[in-house]
Structure 1
Amino acid sequence: MEKNSSLKLAQVKKSRKYEDEVHVFGRIWMICAFFMMMSIPFMISVYYDAWPGFAPVFKGLLGVAPIFWTVAVIEIITYTPMLGSGGSYLGFVTGNLTNLKVPCALYAMENAQVKQGTLEGEVISTIAIATSSIVTTIIIAVGVLMLTPLTPILNSEMLKPAFDNILPALFGGLAVVYVSKNWKIAISPLLFMIVLFLLVPSLASSVSVLVPVGSLIAIGMARLLYNKGLLNTDKS
């Protein structure tokens, strides 16, 4: 008993130390990334001696910034519990969470048989997102270099159906795994979204905003099933 208690205490201390270090370095690199991003328009203004002024910049931001702020808050609330601290810092700096980083992290944790919210899940998620970022950067670099010779191939009618179905194929594969595991919980948000998009197709461009809606429906259904004793918590 004492040995087990000592091991658990050591694991808790190690986990806290890891979390503290992740937050320290994560905040440092987030600040560095912010200044690097802001330095691009600043350097362009310096080089061309073109300063738009506060009013035009504010006017331009007024139309787009609220949308991005809303999506950013929603993604932080929705994705951070899935990705963990390290994965969240890395994912939000490198971007493309919904289409790439989140599926990579979830699939990696699934293959490694670790749970979200654990130290093991945190490490696997961070490694998966880091690997995804490196591979994406390499592919973009190769794509830029090969853009001219590959343009006729990429624009061919034969490959168009494949490019149109990349995301459905990616999320379809993930959905089979997670829906089959918890189909009682997954069926309600799935049906809701299918009906919603059939009735209002224009909402397809607002998927990020609707993610938390689906999450709330799933949480509500899980609570309802649990209270009625219809949810097998051992398998879920």
Structure 2
Amino acid sequence: MDRDKIYENDFLKPIMYWGKRTLLLATIISFAPPLYIYFAYGVIPTFSEVLKAFILVAPYAVVLQIVEPPSYFPILGVPGTYMSFLAGNISNLRIPCSAVAQNAAGVEEGSKEGSIISTIAIGISVIVNLIILTIGVFFGARLLAAFPPAINKALNYILPSVFGGVFGSFTIRNIKLGIISLVFCVVLAALNIIPANLIAPLGVAFTIFVGIKMIEKEHAEE
């Protein structure tokens, strides 16, 4: 049996089988807390409250549902997508781990080799994340209280530094596209015409669109 068949039959199919079921189970379980509050305490929001919450959340959620899966999938791969959307922390943890691991292994994102490396990297990140969270739950407050104020303030820059590192690693591959994406997001932030939490999803969508147009232009000139 060649490598492609082994990848499809022995690696991908079992992951897709269990991935669909675990995500469906997670979706069902996510309704458990509100159902428990309702049946145990009789607390239920009114229709107007539900509608108000939906109006506030829907624009942001709809954009994420459209932008996130296609923008994350080329890096994560099929197995990595299942694990990441189940474990969470996709943009600030799973994507960087997957991208850095594939870059270190010298494999191409979207390839079968890249998918395998991404799976290993994300699986390890989930385990390490669980260990760190467990330690943080029991000792996090004591550790933060023992740190000097300067260190606690510096911790706020961890997430931007992760985003910057990932952005830089991809910009090196296509500097022109990276600059266009950066300028677009900076302009959106400066204009302050949309909520801040929509800038990143819109930036991703815009970058994908521009990238496709650049590739089409290159092929047309060949």
Are residues 1:104 and 2:97 paired? Answer: yes
**Cα distance, 1:22–1:54 mapped onto 2, change above 3 Å:** farther
**Cα distance, 1:23–1:57 mapped onto 2, change above 3 Å:** farther
Q: Which residue of 1 aligns with 2:149?
A: 157
Q: Any idea what SS the aligned residue of 2:150 has?
A: coil
**C-alpha separation in 1, matches of 2:68 and 2:176:** 25
**C-alpha separation in 2, matches of 1:208 and 1:45:** 36
Are residues 1:143 and 2:139 paired? Answer: no
- Alignment map for 1:111-150 (pairs within 5 Å): 111-150=104-143
Q: Which residue of 2 aligns with 1:14?
A: 6
Stretches of structure 1 lacking an aligned partner (at least 5 in a row): 1-6, 230-236
Q: 1:171 aligns with which of 120, 138, 163?
A: 163
**8 Å Cα contact 2:80-2:119 kept in structure 1:** yes
**8 Å Cα contact 1:75-1:208 kept in structure 2:** no
**8 Å Cα contact 2:107-2:113 kept in structure 1:** yes
Q: Which residue of 2 aligns with 1:233?
A: none
**8 Å Cα contact 1:186-1:218 kept in structure 2:** no
TM-score in terms of structure 1 length? 0.80
- Choose 167-176 or 112-121, whichever is displaced more: 167-176
**C-alpha separation in 2, matches of 1:77 and 1:192:** 20
- Larger C-alpha radius of gyration, 1 or 2? 1
RMSD, matched Cα? 2.5
**C-alpha separation in 1, matches of 2:58 and 2:189:** 25
| % identity of equivalent residues | 29
**C-alpha separation in 2, matches of 1:57 and 1:79:** 33
**Cα distance, 1:98–1:140 mapped onto 2, change above 3 Å:** same
- Alignment map for 1:1-236 (pairs within 5 Å): 10-17=2-9, 18-48=11-41, 50-52=42-44, 55=47, 58-59=50-51, 60-153=53-146, 156-200=148-192, 203-210=195-202, 211-228=204-221
Listed one character per residue, the Cα deviations across residues 12-42 of structure 1 (whole Å, up to 9, x for unaligned) are: 3223213222211110111111122222222
May I ask how many residue pairs the two structures share in their alignment? 219
Shift in Å, 1:90: 0.7
Shift in Å, 1:106: 0.7
Q: What amino acid maps onto 1:188 in structure 2?
A: I
Shift in Å, 1:73: 2.6
**Cα distance, 1:148–1:16 mapped onto 2, change above 3 Å:** closer
**C-alpha separation in 2, matches of 1:111 and 1:11:** 22
**C-alpha separation in 2, matches of 1:71 and 1:176:** 23
**Cα distance, 1:108–1:158 mapped onto 2, change above 3 Å:** same
**8 Å Cα contact 1:87-1:125 kept in structure 2:** yes
**8 Å Cα contact 1:114-1:121 kept in structure 2:** yes
Shift in Å, 1:76: 0.9
**Cα distance, 1:175–1:77 mapped onto 2, change above 3 Å:** closer
